[in-house]
Chain A
């Protein structure tokens, strides 16, 4: 059994609406980031990998197991959906025990595994707390713990940090990185910072299409020389916004410092070191251009 996820020619429809277009990905052990806007198709892809949705066509194998073998896939994956909760009146320990039984763990395995996982996600002392009394961050950590009950080879985590405060977000990212040491962890997010902090390999998905698949370094390299900064007066800002793809800006008195992406250096601007956010924006921006050029037969 190999340790990779192979996706070839995947298409997914909701009725007549196509949600995924010819997706091809090869995901190896470690953290894999799936980046994209809300509604880009990330959750559809995650759910398909978690056997919760049926694909229209294409081939998916998870650690060598065809996705059609849902029973076996469920045995080797852990899944944390974007929105989830647990029976609110159950205590943390009880909820874990219930889900461990559903995961098919024996009595001794259950005890050992639940203790270890609660310790790992730092919830041991909250074991007797009711689920409804947990904070958002604690609930997410409990979510990760339940997804790891069956010691899966693959952990699929959909938008896990949305709504968390910065401290919890950092803690969560670190936890995922730890878990990824011996597993495939697929992290789907629209928050670039999550990817930046945890992933080496990523894919960018936009409107159901994979528009980038590679390493973070390669993505940054592609943005090299196309990210600039400049300082302008506030009066000029509306016109600059219209002309440029601005990725960030800071106002200082009457002046505004902007960071933007462009093909060429413009007067008054300086080239700067791109970050993932810049590269991501560049890709979203240029993928639109690519599509338009593709349609009219031009070159990019």
Chain B
């Protein structure tokens, strides 16, 4: 009965209506209502079936070298050290070290590599290419012309046409690339485990057919779409929005001055907190379950004759998305109860931003243990990437169980804090306000 009352209280509130609107808009923007535009097609012999990554030294070595030379000549390297994109500019000494690595890979002299990067071809002084006309040429006041060199042209990668030395062993190449990655601070495409990205081979018909059959047998089609939905809903919506609901509703009793009335009632802190948590989680899941079905149902008619799993959206909603809602809501409830402030929004927001940016390099799949929202997006090789999902299923289960476990632990702590506050043993809000005002006082003093 209390659960029903709490759910009613939530769904009739304005913050919840805003939440639902945000969920719908967020998911709509991710294209979950346009899944019928990407249909799983049975491969036919003689067609093109996409590609796959493979560790092919002959492909990887020249392609990785080409990229490294380009970045080296511009001294502008792209890395993802902690998930966030980072543009690295090396110091002169580190560029020299990078030149040594390139020297090791190409067999060319380090100085020559540095000179070429600077746009100077050794032994051919003044051997520049000038662009006549265009932006490079300007008429001066005496009727003459001033011709400027195009700096970009001078540093263009084509200028650094070095090849991998013939006797380069792939293991040694990986070692040198690893050193280059270390020099850049890690997270580059030259990291040993990232080099495989340079090796791509087309899929054969048999492989494509095998993947298609797996999607039909394992995902029963709808499972694949439910997974895509979960990827979008997890990262864009459910890892962040529930915290707002938890914070706003968590602060409501105090805001409307109802705290003391509730504190003195018979109900236990454990029952009240847990039921409120359950109500928030159910309320947050309701629109998601509904939309997941609407999204999934839109493709059902596109697969006549194939046995579909009509419960797939529900399975993914509970298995994949529920833990995200649980942790986001629990953080909201815990920090609101602890501090009496909306600080949970900032905390969860930071984690979410970090998690989203972590996904820049791993949108296609990401199941790390501490990921807030696991990723499993569509792939060029196959729409659902079923095998990849099955390979990482164990990691996904561990991640989801951990998130759910942390969420429940936070709720247990929330119960303890609630009971302490109820008995006047703990004044979380007062302590927090005191800390904030002392920081403010110190700041004011230092400004004075």
- Residue in B256, B263, B268 whose beta carbon sits within 8 Å of that of A86 in the complex: B256
Residues of A within 8 A of B422 (CB): 51-52, 70
Whether, in the assembled complex, B252 has its beta carbon less than 8 Å from a beta carbon of chain A, the answer is yes
Whether, in the assembled complex, B53 has its beta carbon less than 8 Å from a beta carbon of chain A, the answer is no
- Determine the distance from Cα of A99 to Cα of B424 in the docked complex, in whole angstroms: 21
Main DSSP-derived SS at the B contact region: loop
Decide: A86 near B261, CB < 8 A? Known: A102-B266, A102-B272: yes
Decide: A146 near B1, CB < 8 A? Known: A103-B267, A104-B267: no
Whether, in the assembled complex, B392 has its beta carbon less than 8 Å from a beta carbon of chain A, the answer is no
Whether, in the assembled complex, B425 has its beta carbon less than 8 Å from a beta carbon of chain A, the answer is yes
Whether, in the assembled complex, B153 has its beta carbon less than 8 Å from a beta carbon of chain A, the answer is no
Residues of B within 8 A of A51 (CB): 263-264, 422-423
Inter-chain contact A84/B5, CB cutoff 8 Å: no
Decide: A101 near B1, CB < 8 A? Known: A47-B424, A83-B257, A85-B258: yes
Interface residues on B, range: 20 to 34
Whether, in the assembled complex, B86 has its beta carbon less than 8 Å from a beta carbon of chain A, the answer is no
- How many chain A residues have a CB neighbour from B under 8 Å? 33
Decide: A71 near B268, CB < 8 A? Known: A85-B258, A102-B262: yes
Residues of A within 8 A of B2 (CB): 101-102
Decide: A74 near B424, CB < 8 A? Known: A52-B260, A101-B1: no
Decide: A103 near B256, CB < 8 A? Known: A52-B424, A54-B423, A87-B9: no
Inter-chain contact A102/B12, CB cutoff 8 Å: no
Whether, in the assembled complex, B443 has its beta carbon less than 8 Å from a beta carbon of chain A, the answer is no
Inter-chain contact B5/A98, CB cutoff 8 Å: yes
Q: Which of A51-76 contact B (CB under 8 A)?
A: 51-54, 70-71, 74-75
Decide: A84 near B265, CB < 8 A? Known: A54-B424, A54-B425, A101-B5: no
Whether, in the assembled complex, A89 has its beta carbon less than 8 Å from a beta carbon of chain B, the answer is yes
Most chain B beta carbons < 10 A, residue from A47, A77, A101, A146 = A101
Closest chain A residue, CB of each to CB of B256: A85
Whether, in the assembled complex, A79 has its beta carbon less than 8 Å from a beta carbon of chain B, the answer is yes
Whether, in the assembled complex, A41 has its beta carbon less than 8 Å from a beta carbon of chain B, the answer is no
Decide: A81 near B256, CB < 8 A? Known: A52-B424, A75-B266: no
Whether, in the assembled complex, A161 has its beta carbon less than 8 Å from a beta carbon of chain B, the answer is no
Residues of B within 8 A of A87 (CB): 9, 252, 256, 258
Provide the A85-108 mask, 1 if CB < 8 A to any CB of B, else 0. 111111000000111011110010
Closest chain A residue, CB of each to CB of B12: A89
Closest chain A residue, CB of each to CB of B421: A52
Residues of B whose CB lies within 8 Å of any CB of A are 1-2, 5, 9, 12-13, 252, 256-258, 260-268, 272, 422-425
29 A-B pairs in the complex with CB atoms less than 8 angstroms apart: A47-B424, A51-B263, A51-B423, A52-B260, A52-B263, A52-B264, A52-B423, A53-B424, A54-B424, A70-B423, A71-B266, A74-B266, A81-B260, A81-B261, A85-B257, A86-B258, A87-B252, A87-B258, A89-B12, A97-B5, A99-B261, A101-B1, A101-B2, A102-B2, A102-B265, A102-B266, A102-B272, A103-B265, A150-B266
